[in-house]
Structure 1
Amino acid sequence: MPEQLDRRARFPTDLDLSPYVRGCLRRLPNVSELDVLDIPSGFGRHSLFLAAQGNRVVAADIDQHRLDQSMASWRALARRHGNLRSVLVDAEQSLPFSREAFDLVLVVHYVSDRIIEAVCPLIRAGGFLIYETFGAHGLNRGTLPTAGQTASRVSGFEVLDLRERPVRTAAGEIVTVKMLARKMGSLI
């Protein structure tokens, strides 16, 4: 019997990607044959798309159901050029990946100083980090950073694009963040 896919899990097109991620991918010199980490991957909209572009993608999330759904979507795709595997992780704990294992790391809709510090060593010299917080909706606004906080966490990186949108709260000013950064150093 075929696996039942959650209504939120389907194979994405580039229009399903975060508009910011889509724009960042256009700026990269190459978007195929890369080692990619998508953390947290959720239902896999970015993981599935990048794997279908010929990349070797690790979808990492704390939710086993979402990982299962991503893998079911991947298996349902008739033509696959890349590779997708899933790893159950808690992004707030030690990550089970080797240093400099990835050419590209995506952190989309997750806010934590811990995650930035954890993923930066995983990126190879010349590799990229795409980071996007959620918008300031509901209770998630309480976890957003202050201006400059995220960019200061990526030492050894050239920040290619940084967009901070102020959000005023009773506790002070916080920002939503969209950032593209490249790890300095040579690929050779």
Structure 2
Amino acid sequence: MTEPDQAAFWDERYATGEYLFGTAPNAFLAREVHCLTPGSKVLAVADGEGRNSVFLAQHGHRVVATDISERALDKARAFAERRAVDVEYRQANLAEWEWPAEALDAVVGIFIQFAGPELREDIFDGIHRSLKPGGLLLLEGYREEQLAYGTGGPPNIENLYTEDGLRRAFSTWEIELLDAYDTEIEEGIGHSGKSALIDLIARKRG
């Protein structure tokens, strides 16, 4: 899939009246949200219909969330309104987006594996630039073994994570957690079943 096709692809996927990945927060984020300093300014990257950004706002954080799909953002804004929280939603193609400089306390990236190797490197660089010294990244994605399960995620292996790949990508960071495991997940109709996951918590060195 070429980058110009991404907006139309995701608009079509999010056109359902249901929330594609549910409204409950990602389990990894819910488990590790305590790592964030109270009142942090947090960017939720490619947040889709808002399940994670709303959760972060409910925990008192100042949240900015991006997605390429206007349809997803409309659903996210409606969800935030129903939950009576404030989130700043921005339509953004991360292949072109200008990342803010040292403006964020934390970045959350949950299943952002629409990005192939080149775009992924640009996104990771943008995250590094955007975080303040000491800022935290919470990242979860599928490992290459996910292809055998077929329960979600991209069909192309180059978009999936490996432990060695993440260690190389964040070699200048302080890695606080890097955990690869298989588990059952139920996240709406978009992610369901046994999955090969990897979680990363990394801190930008001051």
TM value normalised by structure 1: 0.76
1:19-168 mapped onto 2 (5 Å cutoff) = 19-26=27-34, 28=35, 30=37, 32-78=38-84, 80=85, 83-91=86-94, 93-111=95-113, 112-134=120-142, 136-137=146-147, 138=150, 139-140=154-155, 142=157, 143-165=159-181
- RCO higher in structure (CA 8 A, sep ≥6): 2
Identical-pair percentage: 24
Q: More displaced, 110-119 or 96-105?
A: 110-119
Q: Which consecutive residues of structure 2, in runs of 5 or more, have no partner in the other structure?
A: 1-15, 114-119, 183-195
Number of aligned residue pairs: give it.
164
Shift of 1:47: 0.2
Report the residue type matching 1:96 in the other structure.
E
Runs of 4+, deviation exceeding 4 Å: 9-12
- C-alpha RMSD of the superposition: 2.6
For 2:82 and 2:197, how far apart are their aligned partners in 1?
Answer: 35
Shift of 1:113: 3.0
Shift of 1:129: 0.1
Report the residue type matching 1:140 in the other structure.
P
Considering fraction of residues, name the structure with more helix: 2
User: Secondary structure of the residue that 1:140 maps to in structure 2?
Assistant: coil
Report the residue type matching 2:155 in the other structure.
N
Shift of 1:121: 1.2
User: Secondary structure of the residue that 2:142 maps to in structure 1?
Assistant: coil
TM value normalised by structure 2: 0.70
For 2:80 and 2:137, how far apart are their aligned partners in 1?
Answer: 24
Q: Which consecutive residues of structure 1, in runs of 5 or more, have no partner in the other structure?
A: 167-174
Report the residue type matching 1:151 in the other structure.
R
Shift of 1:132: 0.8
For 1:10 and 1:164, how far apart are their aligned partners in 2?
Answer: 22
For 1:60 and 1:9, how far apart are their aligned partners in 2?
Answer: 17
Task: Say whether residues 1:179 and 2:189 are aligned partners.
Answer: no
Give deviations 1:111-156, integer Å, cap 9, x for gaps. Answer: 3333222211111111100111136143535221343112221243
